[in-house]
Amino acid sequence: MACLIPASAMIDRSTDPAPIPPSSQWDDLWHQFAAHRGALVGAILFAIIVLTVFMGPYFWTLDPSYIDIRARNAGPTFAHPFGTDQLGRDTFARMMAGGRVSLSVGIAAMVLGLVIGAAVGVTAGYFRRLDGILMRLTDLFLALPLLPLLLVMVMLFREPLSANFGPEAGIFILIVAAIGLTSWMPTARIVRGDVLALKEREFMLAARSIGTSNVQMILRHILPNVLSPIMVSATLGIANAIITESALSFLGLGFPPDFPTWGRLLFDATDYIQQNPERVIWPGVAISLTVLSVNYLGDGLRDALDPRIRGR
């Protein structure tokens, strides 16, 4: 495909009035994606994790918060394949419940952080006038102490959010917002740098010369071209969000205490690292696997989306 077209192809006037098949692009994308071995492995792994976590509870019906005090601190058994915790709750069920929360928070917070970061980065890079002020804003956010910021957010918004969305959804929104609002800065910096370089490219001038407005310019030309750094930020963003969520829960700023998440399971288990090492291993492995699969997925997507690499 990418090989050079012989000169004859340019002369032969093909009169095939083939209408443009718009769907072939997606086929092509998939074809490209599937060719990337790492991406495929990552995608399958991620799919397995997501499926287990979301569909698992239909097959493993134990309630993650059911306390079976006689089975405390049990190692893996037939009844509890992943063992139990200090109150006798089933770790497997808790892992799945925790995974649902962690994955949702991770992805939602990452998306939020990415959207803010990309928006700030693109705006700063594209509109010179706003550059100074937006970058100083980024500095400000980098400098803000996280904990007091979160405390203020929780204080101001927990009740209104719980009232409007119910306690769990309310907290979910709050946590996602908190993590998203405090993690967009590196993305913004990187994107801004790329946009600045992009702006100097001639096709931007060309696009302007055909009357493309600023908004169209950003949507059509800037965003697709800064996708690659955004992908990297996305990968790191998920890991960061999952870990930050655990820190928040630990500080009492996160989900209610009976609400398991991977980060929290890991944190709670560290005290038992000697008695029940498997309790640390499960969440640790789950987080690492998720991040790893997302990383490979991101690599593959980036390659698939970059037309220059396609067909290699």
Partner 1 sequence: MLDQPIARIRNLRVQFCTTGGLAGAVEDLSFDLHAGETLCIVGESGSGKSVTSLALMRLIEFSGAEITDGRILFDRKSGAEVDLARAGSDLMRQIRGNEIGMIFQEPMTALNPVFTIGRQLSEGLRHHMGLSRKEAWARAIEALRDVRLPEPERRMVQFPHQLSGGMRQRVVIAMALACAPRLLIADEPTTALDVTTQAEILALMDRLKRESGTAVMFITHDMAVVAQIADRVVVMEQGRKVEEGTVAEIFEAPQHPYTKTLLAAVPRLGDMRGKPLPERIDVAERSSHPPVPVRGTDAPLLRVQNLTTRFPIRGGFLRRIVSNVHAVEDVSFTLMRGRTLSLVGESGCGKSSVGRSILRLVDPLSGSVDLDGTDVMGLDAHNLREARRHMQMVFQDPFASLDPQMPVKDQVAEPLRNFCTHRGDALWDRVATLFDRVDLPRSFMARFPHELSGGQRQRIAIARALALNPKLIVADEAVSALDVSVQAQVLNLMLELQADLGLSYLFISHDMAVVERMSHDVGVMYLGRIVELGPRDAVFETPAHPYTKALLSAVPIADPRKRATRSPTFAPIPSPIHPVGYRPEPSRYDEVAPGHFVLHHDIPLS
Partner 2 sequence: ERGSDGHVNIIYWQAPSMMNPYLSGGSKENEAASLVIEPLGRFDQDGALVPFLAEEIPTLENGGVAEDLTSITWTLKQGLVWSDGSPVTSQDVKFTADYCMHPEGGCAKFAKFDGISSIDILDERSIKITFEQPTPYPYSAFIGAQTPIIQKAQFENCLGERAPECTEANFNPIGTGPFRVTDFRPNDVILMEANPQYRDPEKPAFATLTLKGGGDATAAGRAVMETGEFDYAWNLLLAPEVLGRMAEGGKGQPVAAFGTMIERIELNLTNPDPSLPPETRSTRAEPHPFLSDKSVRQALSMAIDRDLLVEIGFGQAGRPACNLVPAPAIYASDNTDCLVQDIEAARALLEDAGWTDTNGNGIRDKDGVELEILFQSSTNAVRQDFQALIKQWWSEIGVATELRNIDASVFFGGDPSSPDTLQKFYADVQMYVNTFDGTDPQAYLAMYRCGNEPRPETQWQGANINRYCDPRYDELLSELAAASDLKERGSIAKTLNDMLTKDSYVVVPLVDRGRVSAHSNTLGGVLLNPWDSELWNAADWYRIAD
Partner 3 sequence: MLTFTSRRLAFAIPTLLFISFVIFMLLELAPGDPMSQLPLTVPPDVRDRMREALGLGEPTHIRFGKWLWQFFVVEPLHMIDAAFGTGFAAEQQRVISWQTRSPVMDIVLQRLPQTLWVVGLSYVVGVLIALPIGIYSAYRQYSLFDQLGTFISMVGFSVPTFFTGILLIVIFSVKLGWFPSIYDTTLVVNSWDSFVQQLRQMVMPVSVLALYNAAQISRFMRASMLDNLHQDYVRTARAKGLTERTVVLVHVLRNSMIPVVTVIALGVPQVFGGAIITEQVFKVNGLGQLLITSIQANDLPMVQTLTFIFALLIVVFNVIADVLYGLLDPRIRYD
Ligand X SMILES: Nc1ncnc2c1ncn2[C@@H]1O[C@H](COP(=O)(O)OP(=O)(O)OP(=O)(O)O)[C@@H](O)[C@H]1O
CA distance 179 to 240: 9
Q: Is 163 in the site for partner 2 (CB under 8 A)?
A: yes
On whether the CB atoms of residues 98 and 81 are closer than 8 A, the answer is no
Select the binding partner of residue 86 from partner 1, partner 2, ligand X, none (C-beta < 5 to 8 A, by kind): partner 2
Comparing CB distances to partner 2, the nearer of 135 and 150 is: 150
On whether the CB atoms of residues 262 and 242 are closer than 8 A, the answer is yes
Among 159, 169, 208, 216, which residue interacts with partner 2 (rule: CB under 8 A)? 159
Residue 189: other Cβ atoms inside 10 A? 20
Dig out the tokens for 290 from the structure: 């998720």
Dig out the tokens for 262 from the structure: 């991977």
Dig out the tokens for 11 from the structure: 């002369």
User: Which one of the spans 48-56, 85-93, 216-224, 236-244 is the region binding partner 3 (CB under 8 A)?
Assistant: 236-244
Select the binding partner of residue 158 from ligand X, partner 1, partner 2, none (C-beta < 5 to 8 A, by kind): partner 2
Q: Is 139 in the site for partner 2 (CB under 8 A)?
A: no
Q: Is 2 in the site for Ni ion (CB under 5 A)?
A: yes
Among 267, 305, 306, 310, which residue interacts with partner 3 (rule: CB under 8 A)? 267
Comparing CB distances to partner 3, the nearer of 62 and 292 is: 292
**Residue whose pair of structure tokens reads 């590196």 in the numeric block:** 186
Q: Is 157 in the site for partner 2 (CB under 8 A)?
A: no
Comparing CB distances to ligand X, the nearer of 2 and 210 is: 2
x/- letters, 185..214, toward partner 1 (CB under 8 A): ----------------xxx-xxxxxxxxx-
Q: Is 256 in the site for partner 2 (CB under 8 A)?
A: yes
Q: Is 145 in the site for partner 3 (CB under 8 A)?
A: yes
x/- letters, 267..296, toward partner 2 (CB under 8 A): -x--xx-xx---------------------
Helical axes 277-305 vs 262-270, angle rounded to 10°: 150
Residue 312: CB minimum distance to Ni ion, A: 8
Interface with partner 2 in residues 70-129 (CB under 8 A): 72-73, 86-87, 89
Q: Tell me how many residues contact ligand X (CB under 6 A).
A: 2
x/- letters, 1..40, toward ligand X (CB under 6 A): --xx------------------------------------
Comparing CB distances to partner 2, the nearer of 65 and 225 is: 65
| CB-based burial label for 49 (10 Å; 0-12, 13-18, 19+) | middle
Q: Is 11 in the site for partner 1 (CB under 8 A)?
A: yes
User: Which one of the spans 10-18, 44-52, 100-108, 111-119 is the region binding partner 1 (CB under 8 A)?
Assistant: 10-18
CA distance 207 to 213: 9
The site for Ni ion (CB under 5 A) is made up of 1-3
The site for partner 1 (CB under 8 A) is made up of 1-7, 9-21, 24-25, 35, 201-203, 205-213, 216, 220-221, 224-225, 227, 305-308, 310-312
